[in-house]
Amino acid sequence: MPPPLQAHRLLISHRRLPTPGRRRFTAVSSVQSAPATTLAPGPATSSILSIRESLLSGERTAADITSEYLSRLRRTEPSVRSFIHVADAAAQREAEELDRRIASGDKDAVGPLAGVLVGVKDNLCTANMPSTGGSRVLEGYRPAYDATAVRRLREAGAIVVGKTNLDEFGMGSTTEGSAFQVTTNPWDDSRVPGGSSGGSASAVSARQCVVSLGSDTGGSVRQPASFCGVVGLKPTYGRVSRFGLMAYASSLDVVGCFGSSVFDTATILSVVAGHDKMDSTSSSQGVPDYASELVSLDLLESKPLNGVRIGIIQETLGEGVDTGVASSIKGAASHLEQLGSVVEEVSLPSFSLGLPAYYILASSEASSNLSRYDGIRYGRQVSANDLNELYGESRANGLGHEVKMRILMGTYALSAGYYDAYYKRAQQVRTLVKESFKAALERYDMLISPAAPSVAYKIGEKINDPLAMYAGDIMTVLNTLFYFGDADLSLLWAMSQSICRHEILFDMVNVNLAGLPALVVPCGFVEGGAAGLPVGLQMIGSPFSEGNLLRVGHIFEQSLQNLSFVPPLLAEL
Amino acid sequence: MPALHPVCPPALPSASGRGLPLWLRQRGALHSAPADVAGGREGGDDVDIHGGKSGRQGWRQLPRWEDKAAVGGDVVYVFHGPFAGDEHPPDCDQHNRLRFTGDTLATMALTLLRGMRTPISFRSNTGLFFTVLQPRLARFTTRAESAQATEPKAAPKSIQLATKEAAEQKTQGFEAIIGIETHVQLSTVTKAFCSCPYNYGSQPNSTICPTCMGHPGTLPVLNEKVVECAVKLGLALNCDISMTSKFDRKQYFYPDLPKGYQISQFDIPIAKKGYVDLDLPMEFGGGHRKFGITRVHMEEDAGKLLHSESGSYSQVDLNRAGVPLLEIVSEPDMRTGIEAAEYGAEIQRIVRYLGVSNGNMQEGSLRCDVNVSVRPVGQSEFGTKVEIKNMNSFSAINRAIDYEISRQIMLHKEGQAGQIVQETRLWDESSQKTFTMRKKEGLADYRYFPEPDLPEVILTSDYIDEIRKSMPELPEAKRRRYENMGLSMQDVLFLANDDNVAHFFDSTIEHGADAKLAANWIMGDIAAYLKNEKLSIDEIKLTPLELSELIASIKNATISGKIGKEILVELIAKGGTVKGVIEEKDLVQIADPAAIEAMVDKVIADNPKQLEQYRAGKTKLQGFFAGQVMKASKGKANPVLLNKILGEKLNAS
C-alpha cells in the first residue's frame, strides 16, 4: 500500500524545478474542506464496475440505474446544457428490455457495458438520432449508420443516452462554437467546459451519463477533461476507428473517451479500440483488456511505480502557463516520484513549432473534408438561381465563423504556388515534432505536462474577436513562417513562440501531430468557482502504450486520497 | 460471390427530408451548366500535356519530409505476391498485408520514406520511347492488297480523305501535335472505395451507399483489384511501376462529385514512362508507330447529372460515383487524326486483352479527351492547345482531330492565330465540327494534397512478378508473331484486333491447321457469317478443332472446298463435327475414277448437242460439262479428277 498523497505534498515542487508562484494557487486542503463537496472525498471508483455488480447481483435493475442518471440529467441539464439531443425515452426502453433479458436468465445480456449510459459527441454518427456535428448545415440530419465506436459500445450493451454538444465540427476549445447552445462547466456555470468535446466532458463530470465518447484533433478530449475534472483519453492515431466520425482533420482526428475514473475510461477503450475494415487507417494491433490490467492499490507494493521513468516537458511549464496549473503539475510530479518513479525535466526542442504546423495541416484537411457539406445531398440547402449561388448560400448560411475561417486558411494553404511553403513545410515540422517525441520517449516511459495551460475560463473570454485573433496575428505569423519559406528553423521557432502566447492548445497539438496516446487525469485544483477548478495532468506515451498510461494513471488516481473530483453542482441536488 | 468490401450500411432512408432520388431543388440552377457528356469533365484540366503543370514549381529539396507517413499514422497497404484473385479490400488480419511500424517512429520514417516530390514534366522531349515523331507518309509501306476495311467501325472513305487532307495541310508548312488522356473504367465487381456494384444502365441511385454518396463520417477503403488492374495495364504499356505510390485529393465543387474532391493520384502515379506500339491499318498506308505514355494513375469516377428538359431543375445520379478509373496520359506524340484514333483503338485492345475493362466507348467505359495544337514546321515551341471532348467512336476521334487541325491551320494562315485560345471544345457529330464548350480562364486550381484517409500503396516485387506472369499475350506481341508466320499485315491486323478472334485462330493452328488457310477461313466465311448474324466468334458453335479438321479434310481431298463451305455453315449454326456432318450428309468426295467416268459418260451422252459444239471448237463448253457432272455428283466429285477424265473423254474421239 503506497502512502496516501498528502495534501501539502502538492505544494512541494520537484527539486529540479523552480519554486512555483503561489499567487493563484489554493492548497487542496482548503478545497476539500469546501462545504459544497458533500460526496466523500477519496479515490475515484468505477461506476461501470458497480453497475455491473448491481445488475449481476440483482441488487438494482438497469431501469433504476437509468432513471437515476436521467433524473440527474433533467435536473442539471438546464444549467449545464451538455446535450444537443437526449434520447431519454429510448434509453429507458433499452434499460427495461435489458432487465427483461436478465430476468429471463439470459446471461449474455450482461455485456461488458450492460446498462451503462453513454453520451456520444454529436460529430459521431448515430443511426437513430440526429447527428449535426454542432453545425446548422447538418441540422436535422440523421445518419443511416452508427459510427464504429458507437456500434461497438452498443454491442457491448451500452445505452446511448444522447448526443453531446461541441464546437462546430470540433473546431474550437470552449464549446461556445456550437451552432446550438453554450455548455457550461459543472464546476462553475460562468465558465466553459473546454472543447471541442465540452459536452461529453461536462456530461460525465455532472454524472449525467457514466462515460462518453469525444474526439481529439488538437486537444479536444484532453483540455475539456482537464477543465471538467474527469479522466480523458486520447488514444494513439489509428487505435479507434474513425468510421462515422465527421472528419475535421483526417490525419489528426481520433475518437477518445471520458470517464469519471481511469478504470471506466480503460473499460470503454477496450470496447471501442481495434481494427475496423471500414477505416483503412485503423491499426490491427491487438487490443488488450485495459481494465483487467488495473490492479487495486491494496495489492501493490509501497512504491508501485518503481523503475518508471517520467519526463516532465519543460516547455509546457514556462511562459504562458498559469502558475497555479504549473504548481499542480509539479505537485503531481512529486507525487509520482513518491510512488517510486523517476521524474526528470526533458526539453522537446521542436515543441513550439507544432502549433503553426498544426494550424496549416488541420485547416488544409478541414477545407477538404468540409467541402461535402454543399447542400446537394443532405443538410441545409438554400434556394438559389444558379449553381454557384446554391453552393455559396448553403455554405454561408450553414457554417459558422470559426469553420469558415479554417476553410479559408486551408484553402489558401493548399492553393497552387503556396502548397510548398505551407502544407509541405508543415509536414516537415510534423516530422520534426515526431522525432523529438520519439527521442524523448526512448529515454522516458512517459512524458507529463499540464493538459491545458490554465483552468477553465469564463464564457465569452476567448471568443470576443476570433477574427482579429486569426487575421491580425496567426495569419501574419504563418505568412512569415511559411510563405517566405527560406526562413531557418530558429526564425520559425521564434515566430511560433509569439503564436503560443495567444493560443491555449499549445501543448495539445504536438501529441496529435505525432499520433501519440495521452491520458488526462485530474490532479489538483486552482482557486475559482465554488469549490476550486480542476487541473488535469497529461501523460503522453509511445504509440499503442495506452495500457501503460492507464496503469500509471490508475495508480496515480487511486493514491490521491484526499481529492475528490465531484463537482459542487451535484452536492446541491 | 467473392468476399467483397465490408458491407456498407444499408441504403439511406430519406430521413434528411431530402431523400432519393437526389434533386437539386432550385430554379434553373443547372441548365446552363455544361452537359456532362460521357462524363469527360473530370480529369480534364489537371494535366497539361503540352506545357507542364503551372503553380507547383519550385519543389526544393527539403529534409525529412515523410509526407504520407506523417499523415497516415502507422498503417500502409502492402501488396505481397501471390496476389489474391478475389476482390476484397486489403484485410490485414487475414492476409497480413498491413505493415506496422507504429512503435518505432524512426523505422516508420525510413520504411515509408518516399522520394521528395519532383516536378512532373508532362513534356518529355527526350524521344526515348518514340521512334516516330513526324508523319512520314513517304515511308508508309504500300503492301496493301485490297482495300477491304479491317476496321469495321471506321468509315474508310471519309477517313482516308481526311487523312489525306490533313497530310496535305502539313505539307503547307504546319504540323499538329496531339496528346490524349484516356479514362478506362475498370470492370471490377465493386467500386474503388466501397462495396457497391456498378452496372451500366441500372436505375438511377440504385447502387449507392453512404460512402460513395459522401455522407459525413464515411471513409474510403481501397479495392485491391484496382491496384491489380493498374499494375496490369502499367506493365502492358511498358511502364515503370511505382513500388510506392499514394492517393491524393483533387478538389472542386460539382453536384456529381459527392465529397467535393475526387480521390486520384497526383505526383506519384502508379505507373509512368511507358510506350505503346501499334500498326496503322493498311488502307491508311500501314506503318508501325510507337507512342509514349506519360503516366497511368488510379482514380474514381464522378456521378452523372441529368438535366430536365425544361431546364428548371437537374438531378444527380450517383451510381457511377466511385467507380474505379485508370487515366492514361500519352506523350504529345501523335500528328494526325488516324494516329490518334489508332492509339485509342490500341488502348481498347489492350484493356480488353487484359480483361480490366470492357473498353466500350458508347457506355463511357473508354473515354478519350484529345489535346490538339498546331505549329509551323520547324518551330520548337508548341502552339496553343485546345482540348476536344465528346467523341464516342474512334472514327469520331479521327474526324474531330482532323477538323480541329484544319481549323487551327486555317486561323494560322489567315493571320488569326491569336484566336486559337486554350479552351475545351465539343465534337458535334451532326455538323462534323467542334464547338467551344468553355474557355479556360487561367488554370483551375485543384489544390491537390495527399489523401489522409488512405494509406500509401506499397507493392512488393513478388506481387508485380505474379501479375507479370499472369499477363496474356498482348496485341503487339501477337501481331509480331503472326507476322513471323508469314501472314500479310492485313491478316495480322484483323486477327489481332479482337482477343477472341486471335484466340480462335491460335487454337485452330495449335490443332495443326495451316496458318494462312486458317486466317482465310476466319477472315472470309466466318467473319462474313458473324457480321450478318451480329455475333462474336465466341458465340458460334464452331470450335477451333473442327475448323482445323475442316481444313485438313479439304487438304487431304476428303471433301472439296465447296463442300467445305457448306459444312462450315452447318458447323457454325448447329455445331457437331466435320466427320459427323460428312457422314450424315454423305458428302465424302468421289475420288473413284470409275465412278466419275460413269457420270461423265452419262452427261456426255445426255448432251449430244453441246458435245457437237465442243468438238466444233467451242472448248469453253468444258465448263458446262464439268458443271453438269458436279451437279450429278451433288458436288462431291473430285474436281481435279473430274476435269482430267472429262478432258480425256471430250477430246477422245
Contact B611, B600 (CB under 8 A): no
Tell me whether residue B2 is in a domain: no
All cell numbers assigned to B375: 505549329
Alpha helices in A19-112 (DSSP H): 28-32, 47-57, 62-80, 88-103
Residues 6+ apart with CB under 8 A from B177: B50, B332, B334, B335, B372, B373, B374, B375, B382, B383, B385
Query: Element (H or E) spanning B643, and its range?
Result: helix B639-650
Q: How far apart (Å, rounded) are the C-alpha atoms in residues B145 and B491?
A: 11
| A498 annotated active-site | no
Q: Which residues of A touch B303 (CB under 8 A)?
A: none
Over the stretch A73-129, which tens digit does the pLDDT of each residue have? 999 999 999 999 999 999 999 999 999 999 998 878 889 999 999 999 999 999 989
Q: Which of A394, A355, A307, A367 lies closest to A502, judged by CA?
A: A355
CB contact under 8 A, A144 and B12: yes
Q: Nearest C-alpha of chain A: how many angstroms from B305? A: 12
Which residue of chain B has the CA closest to A542? B103
Query: Do B112 and B236 share a structural domain?
Result: yes
What is d(CA A398, CA A369) in angstroms, rounded to the nearest whole number?
A: 15
Element (H, E) at B94: helix B92-95
Whether residue B624 sits in one domain with residue B508: no
DSSP states of A364-393 as a string? HHHHHHGGG-SSSSSS-----SSHHHHHHH
Quick check: A416 and B217 CB within 8 A? Answer: no
Instruction: Name the amino acid, one letter, at A524.
Output: G
Strand partners, A310: A343, A446
Instruction: Tell me the shortest Cα–Cα distance from B140 to chain A, in angstroms.
Output: 45
Look at residue A37 in the predicted model and tell me its pLDDT: 34
Nearest CA in chain A to B223: A280
A251 vs B contacts (CB less than 8 Å): 70-73, 452
- What is the side-by-side order of every strand in the sheet holding B288-300? B240-241, B271-279, B288-300, B324-330, B174-185, B366-376, B386-389, B423-428, B433-439
**How far, in Å, CA of B511 to CA of B492, rounded?**
19
* A475 burial type by CB count under 10 A (0-12 exposed, 13-18 middle, 19+ buried): middle
Instruction: Indicate if B627 and B538 belong to the same structural domain.
Output: no
Residues with Cβ < 8 Å from B250, sequence gap 6 or more?
Answer: B46, B261, B262, B263, B264, B266, B299, B446, B448
Here the cell at position B179 is 496528346
Supply the CATH classification number for the domain A7-15+23-348+506-572: 3.90.1300.10
The pTM (predicted TM-score) of the whole model is 0.80
Contacts of A435 in chain B (CB under 8 A): 64, 105-106, 109
For residues A12 and A21, give the distance between their C-alpha atoms in angstroms, rounded to a whole number.
11
Residues B409 and B553 in one domain: no
Residues B603, B567 within the same domain:
no
Beta-carbon separation of B65 and A428 below 8 A: yes
Distance of CA B571 to the CA centre of its chain: 31
DSSP class of B142: -
- The distance of Cα B184 from the centroid of its chain, to the nearest Å, equals 9
Q: Could A377 and B215 be called an inter-chain contact, meaning their C-beta atoms sit closer than 8 Å?
A: yes
H or E element at residue B584: helix B578-585
B537, B526 contact by CB (below 8 A):
yes
- Domains of chain A, by residue range, sit at 7-15+23-348+506-572
Question: Which grid cell sits at B570?
Answer: 452447318
Which are the contacts of B568, defined by CB distance < 8 A and separation ≥ 6?
Answer: B521, B525, B526, B542, B547, B550
Across the A:B interface, residue pairs with CB atoms under 8 Å apart total 241
Residues of chain A positioned with their CB less than 8 A from the CB of B22: 376-377
Place of cell 472446298: B561
| C-alpha closest to that of B2 among B197, B185, B193 | B197
Do B540 and B640 belong together in one domain? no
Same domain, residue pair B415 and B516: no
Same domain? B571 vs B519 = yes
The residue with cell 488544409 is: A364
What does the pLDDT read at residue B42? Answer: 37
pLDDT value of residue A462: 67
Element (H, E) at A440: helix A425-443
The domain tally of chain B equals 3
C-alpha B469/C-alpha B228 separation (Å) is 13
User: Which one of B539, B566, B585 terminates a domain?
Assistant: B585
Give the other-Cβ count within 10 Å of A222's Cβ: 33
The domain that contains B638 carries what CATH number? 1.10.10.410
- Give domain status of residue B643, yes or no: yes
- Cis peptide leading into B21, omega within 30 of 0? yes
Q: Is residue B193 within 8 Å of B300, Cβ to Cβ? A: yes
A107 among known catalytic residues: no
* Cβ distance of B217 and A237 shorter than 8 Å: no
Based on the domain organization, do B425 and B518 belong to the same domain?
no
| Residue B161: band (very low, low, confident or very high) from pLDDT cuts 50, 70, 90 | low
Report the SS3 class of residue B491.
Answer: helix
Interface ipTM > 0.95: no
Compute CA distances B345 → B342, B356, B506, B608, whole Å: 5, 15, 22, 62
Q: Give the residue with greater pLDDT, B119 vs B65.
A: B65
Residue in B with minimal Cα distance to A515: B73
Residue B467 in any domain: the answer is no
Structural domain contains residue B456? no
Do B280 and B364 belong to one domain?
yes
Of A220, A282, A454, A564, the catalytic one is A220
HEC secondary structure over A9-37: HHHCCCCCCCCCCCCCCCCHHHHHCCCCC
Q: Which of A47, A82, A196, A328 is catalytic?
A: A196
d(CA B374, CA B170): 10
SS3 B434: strand
A418 contacts in chain B (CB < 8 Å): none
Q: Out of B392, B419, B450, pick the residue that ends a domain.
A: B450
Alpha helices in B327-454 (DSSP H): 337-354, 394-413
Comparing B257 with B80, the larger pLDDT belongs to B257
Q: Which residue from A170, A126, A114, A132 is spatially nearest to A150, judged by alpha carbons?
A: A126
User: Degrees (nearest 5) of the Cα angle A504, A122, A263?
Assistant: 75
CA distances from A76 to A65, A198, B398, B470 (A): 17, 15, 75, 67
User: Tens-of-pLDDT digits for all 573 residues of chain A?
Assistant: 554 443 333 322 222 333 333 333 333 333 333 333 334 556 778 999 999 999 999 999 999 999 999 999 999 999 999 999 999 999 999 999 999 999 998 878 889 999 999 999 999 999 989 999 999 999 989 999 999 999 999 999 999 999 999 999 999 888 999 999 999 999 999 999 998 999 999 999 999 999 999 999 989 999 999 999 999 999 999 999 999 999 999 999 999 999 999 999 999 999 999 999 999 999 989 999 999 989 888 888 888 999 999 999 988 887 778 889 999 999 999 999 999 999 999 998 777 778 778 888 988 999 999 999 998 888 888 888 888 888 889 999 999 988 887 888 788 888 887 788 788 888 888 998 999 999 999 999 999 999 988 899 898 876 554 443 443 344 444 444 444 444 334 334 444 444 444 444 456 889 999 999 999 999 999 988 788 999 999 999 999 999 999 999 999 999 987 788 999 888 776
Across the interface, of A144, A283, A419, the residue whose CB is closest to B9 is: A144
Please report whether residue B231 resides in a domain: yes
C-alpha torsion angle, residues B129, B135, B136, B142 (rounded to 10): 100
Q: Do B290 and B389 fall into the same domain?
A: yes
Contact residues on chain B for A431, CB-CB shorter than 8 A: 64-66, 70, 109
* Residue B64 clears pLDDT 80, i.e. is over it: no
Contact B260 A133 (CB under 8 A): no
Amino acid at A270: S
Residue where a domain stops, chosen among B554, B585, B616? B585
In a domain, B458, yes or no: no
Contact A192, A175 (CB under 8 A): yes
A431–B32: do the CB atoms touch at under 8 Å? no
Classify residue B381 by burial, with Cβ atoms within 10 Å: 0-12, 13-18, 19+. exposed
CB of B215 within 8 A of CB of B12? yes
Q: Which residues span the domain enclosing B576? A: 498-585
Judge: B60–A420 Cβ closer than 8 Å, yes or no: yes
| H-run or E-run covering B329 | strand B324-330
Report pLDDT for B19: 31
| Chain B residues touching A247 at Cβ < 8 A | 216-217, 219, 453
| CA–CA distance, A124 with A165 (Å, rounded to integer) | 11
Verify that B291 and B403 share a domain, yes or no.
Answer: yes
HSE-CB for A340 with a 13 A CA cutoff: 16
- Among B89-98, B176-185, B427-436, which is the least confidently predicted range? B89-98
Q: Which DSSP category does A196 fall into?
A: S
Catalytic residue among A121, A163, A330, A462: A121
Are the C-beta atoms of A168 and A177 separated by less than 8 Å? yes
The contacts of residue B322 (CB under 8 Å, 6+ apart) are B191, B192, B193, B194, B196, B211, B212, B300, B301
Contact at CB, A245 and B5, closer than 8 angstroms? no
